[in-house]
Every structure is written in C-alpha cells, then in structure tokens.
C-alpha cells in the first residue's frame, strides 16, 4: 500500500534552493520505486523570509512545519543579512525552528567515505574507518539559558551575559537518545562536559552516569571538552557515539566533520519526541557560489536519507539514496569541493543527474 508523507521543504538562502531541487527530484524517483507518495510543500526561512516578511521564521512556516511528517531544510544565511540586529538574523530563524518544534536531539554523523579519504587534512591512517555520531543537545544550554543580553553595569560599562543551564530532565532526555543511538551503533558512548569547572556540567555528568546504569550494554566514558577536542584530532577512532551539550556539540561537531575532509558531505537530523523531525546538511549556505551550479548536493541528499531513516521509518528508501551517493563517488564524479586528480568534475545539477541515472539503472 502507498505510504503518504507530507514534507515541508525549506530551501532558505545561498545554495539552498539548488541542492534541495536536486534532492526533491531524487525523492520523487525513489518514492515511485517504493510506493511512497511524498507531498511536498514549501515555506520561507532565513534571509529570504526576512526579505519577504521581515522575520527569519514567519509564523506560517512554523505552522506548516508542525503540520507535516518531516521538514527538509537546506541552508540559511548570507552576507546581506549579517549586520542586522540579532532578532532579524537568519540564524535566529534556525534557533527558533529548533525551539518551536522542540528538536532537542541533534544527530551529526561524521563518517569517513573511503573514496574521499584523501580530502581529510589528517593522515589517512588516522582517519581511515572513522565513524562517529555526535549527539548534540539542541534546545537548551547556553544557546537558550537566561539571563541573556547586553546590560549596563552600575559604572555604565556594558556587560554581555549568557547562561549555561540544564535541568535534570533536559539532560535525561538527550542522554536517553544518546544511549539508544549507541546501542544501535558500536555500543560505546562518550559524554563530554567541563565538570572540572562548571556546575552545570557536574549535574550533566551525574545524570548521564545515573542513566548509564540502565544501559549495561553500552560502555560509558566521560571526557572534558578540551581533552575531547584534542582526542578527536589525535585518535578519532576511539570514538563511537558522543553526547554533549549545545555549545560543546556545536564546536565538536565541526571538528568531527573536518576529520572527513568534506563538510559538503555531511547530513544531520534534529529530533524531538514526536514528528516532525528536521533534516539538514551540516554545511552552510555558501553564498560565494550561490546560483552558479557549483554546489555539492550530496549532504542534502544524505540528509533526505536521514529523514527517511530517522524521521519516517523508511530504511529501505534511505539505503537507496545512500547507495546512490556512494556509487556516484565510486564512479568518480566530484563537485569542486571534493575534486581531486583524475576525477570527473560535475556541477550540482549534473551530480543530481548522475544520481538519478544510478537510481534508475
């Protein structure tokens, strides 16, 4: 029987519309093949939303997202909006949609793709076989804690304030996702904090340790964030699943992404307790190459695969997309960001055509 899913598309800014268009074509083909009826609807977020409505996340967009089974986001931001006040910045729209859909768990895989191992700035023997999942808390911590703002002191000096805070229940729910993720992967979970200095981290560590008692099949370890950053570039293969707070996760997931050498290849999933989840590439909107048909659409395609796997429970369709991506790389097709000697250079659209050909063969 046909499964029906309503998917909200958020193309956003920069290269967003180009990479999302390629991905939608691919989803349509896989849908036909596997009897899945995707109903696409599009909404505004980020800079384009600011230009058209004055707000980076219009109410109508949030409503449309809430009304759907999954949200597929491309990228937001660009030079044009960089100097607006914070409440009108594209990034604020991204934070608002995370909060508005209660997407507290952000899954960011950093997996070495054998064909692209040369793209890493680290030695091949250090990164070969790296397969890390960073589980980042996404709706709490210092990104959202109060008080926040720039205030004036008694001496009329300005003072900038943000607050890193986690409640027990916030730690528990992300820890649960992380333990369950680790169970499905290599059975190892490393919790990253700064418990030697921060009280909020001590609570984090206590709660994760307590939760660990329920998951005897997962080997739990703890690292301070500075050491974790060092270990990630020193010996990344020691990691399987990492769980950490919002800010540490932001930083460590970029470092983990760079192990693979190709941030243009990495997808992510942001999940709450219920649908819809939001799925987006880790890379940004690359305004410098927007509209030039140069963008790498593969992270967006892999984000659609994560949508199918984690958001819609369609693992078969997910595997088809992933297989097509690896096959395209195996056949030597490369966009500029991952190009190397002897490979076949293609643009965004042509890469999409290669994927379609592979899917239909």
- How many whole angstroms separate alpha carbon 339 and alpha carbon 91? 30
- Partner from ligand IPM, Mg ion, none binding residue 94, C-beta < 5-8 Å depending on class: ligand IPM
We find the least distance from the C-beta atom of residue 319 to Mg ion, in angstroms, to be 28
Task: State the Cα angle at 72 between 350 and 335, rounded to 5°.
Answer: 25
Q: Tell me the site size for ligand IPM, rule CB under 6 A.
A: 4
286 binds ligand IPM (CB under 6 A): no
- Please say if 193 is a catalytic residue: no
Beta-bridge partners for 241: 133, 189
How many CB atoms are located within 10 Å of the residue 86 CB?
Answer: 9
Ramachandran angles phi, psi of 51, nearest 5°: -60, -40
Instruction: Return the DSSP state at 237.
Output: G
We find the least distance from the C-beta atom of residue 57 to Mg ion, in angstroms, to be 18
Name the residue nearer to Mg ion (CB basis): 69 or 250. 250
304 binds ligand IPM (CB under 6 A): no
We find the least distance from the C-beta atom of residue 288 to ligand IPM, in angstroms, to be 17
Which stretch of DSSP H or E encloses residue 75? strand 70-75
Ramachandran angles phi, psi of 115, nearest 5°: -65, -20
Name the residue nearer to ligand IPM (CB basis): 218 or 270. 270
- How many whole angstroms separate alpha carbon 230 and alpha carbon 249? 14
Beta-bridge partners for 223: 192
| Residues 268, 302 contacting (CB under 8 angstroms) | no
Q: Binding string, 68-107, against ligand IPM, x = CB under 6 A?
A: -----------------------x--xx------------
Structure tokens at 71: 């949200």
312 binds ligand IPM (CB under 6 A): no
We find the least distance from the C-beta atom of residue 66 to ligand IPM, in angstroms, to be 21
- Please say if 194 is a catalytic residue: yes
- Please say if 254 is a catalytic residue: yes
The CA–CA distances, whole Å, from 219 to 81, 170, 174, 188, 222 equal 45, 22, 17, 5, 10
- Partner from Mg ion, ligand IPM, none binding residue 25, C-beta < 5-8 Å depending on class: none
- How many whole angstroms separate alpha carbon 37 and alpha carbon 12? 24
Name the residue nearer to ligand IPM (CB basis): 17 or 281. 281
| Interacting residue with Mg ion among 13, 193, 250, 314 (CB under 5 A) | 250
Which is it for the CA torsion 12, 14, 20, 21, positive or negative?
positive
- How many whole angstroms separate alpha carbon 11 and alpha carbon 47? 11
We find the least distance from the C-beta atom of residue 94 to ligand IPM, in angstroms, to be 5
| Catalytic member of 5, 194, 215, 224 | 194
We find the least distance from the C-beta atom of residue 88 to ligand IPM, in angstroms, to be 14
The interaxial angle of helices 16-34 and 298-306, nearest 10 deg, is 50
The CA–CA distances, whole Å, from 103 to 141, 188, 347 equal 13, 24, 33
Name the residue nearer to ligand IPM (CB basis): 164 or 218. 164
- How many whole angstroms separate alpha carbon 117 and alpha carbon 113? 6
Structure tokens at 266: 């990495």
Name the residue nearer to ligand IPM (CB basis): 144 or 224. 144
| Residues 3, 35 contacting (CB under 8 angstroms) | yes
We find the least distance from the C-beta atom of residue 95 to ligand IPM, in angstroms, to be 6
- Please say if 275 is a catalytic residue: no
- Partner from ligand IPM, Mg ion, none binding residue 42, C-beta < 5-8 Å depending on class: none
Given the structure tokens 């200095």, which residue do they identify?
197
| Catalytic member of 226, 288, 316, 344 | 226
Closest-approach residue to ligand IPM (CB): 91
Q: Binding string, 240-259, against ligand IPM, x = CB under 6 A?
A: ----------x---------
Name the residue nearer to Mg ion (CB basis): 250 or 280. 250
| Catalytic member of 25, 131, 254, 293 | 254
- Please say if 35 is a catalytic residue: no
**Which positions lie near Mg ion, rule CB under 5 A?**
250
Catalytic residues, by residue number, are 143, 194, 226, 250, 254
**Which positions lie near ligand IPM, rule CB under 6 A?**
91, 94-95, 250
């Amino acid at each position: 029987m046909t499964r029906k899913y309503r998917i909200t598309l958020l193309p956003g800014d920069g290269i967003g519309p180009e990479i999302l268009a390629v991905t939608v074509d691919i989803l349509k083909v896989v849908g036909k093949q596997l009897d899945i009826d995707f109903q696409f609807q599009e909404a505004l977020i980020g800079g384009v939303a600011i230009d058209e409505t004055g707000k980076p996340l219009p109410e109508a967009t949030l409503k449309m997202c809430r009304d759907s089974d999954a949200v597929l986001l491309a990228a937001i931001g660009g030079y044009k909006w960089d100097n607006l006040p914070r409440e009108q910045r594209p990034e604020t729209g991204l934070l608002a949609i995370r909060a508005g859909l209660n997407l507290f768990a952000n899954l960011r895989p950093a997996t070495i793709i054998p064909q692209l191992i040369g793209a890493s700035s680290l030695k091949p023997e250090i990164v070969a076989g790296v397969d890390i999942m960073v589980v980042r808390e996404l709706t709490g911590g210092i990104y959202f804690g109060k008080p926040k703002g720039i205030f004036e002191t008694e001496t009329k000096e300005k003072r900038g304030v943000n607050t890193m805070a986690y409640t027990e229940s916030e730690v528990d729910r992300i820890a649960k996702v992380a333990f369950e993720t680790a169970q499905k992967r290599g059975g190892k979970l490393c919790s990253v904090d700064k418990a030697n200095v921060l009280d909020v981290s001590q609570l984090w560590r206590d709660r994760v340790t307590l939760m660990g008692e329920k998951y005897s099949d997962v080997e739990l370890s703890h690292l301070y964030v500075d050491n974790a950053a060092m270990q990630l570039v020193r010996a990344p293969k020691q990691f399987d699943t990492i769980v950490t707070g919002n800010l540490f996760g932001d930083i460590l997931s970029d470092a983990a992404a760079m192990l693979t050498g190709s941030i243009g290849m990495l997808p992510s999933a942001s999940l709450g307790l219920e649908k819809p989840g939001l799925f987006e590439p880790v890379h940004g909107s690359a305004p410098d190459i927007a509209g030039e048909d140069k963008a790498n659409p593969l992270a967006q395609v892999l984000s659609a695969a994560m949508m199918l796997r984690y958001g819609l429970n369609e693992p078969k369709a997910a595997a088809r997309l992933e297989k097509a991506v690896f096959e395209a790389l195996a056949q030597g097709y490369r966009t500029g960001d991952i190009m190397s000697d002897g490979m076949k250079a293609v643009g965004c659209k042509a890469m999409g055509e290669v994927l379609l050909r592979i899917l239909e063969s």
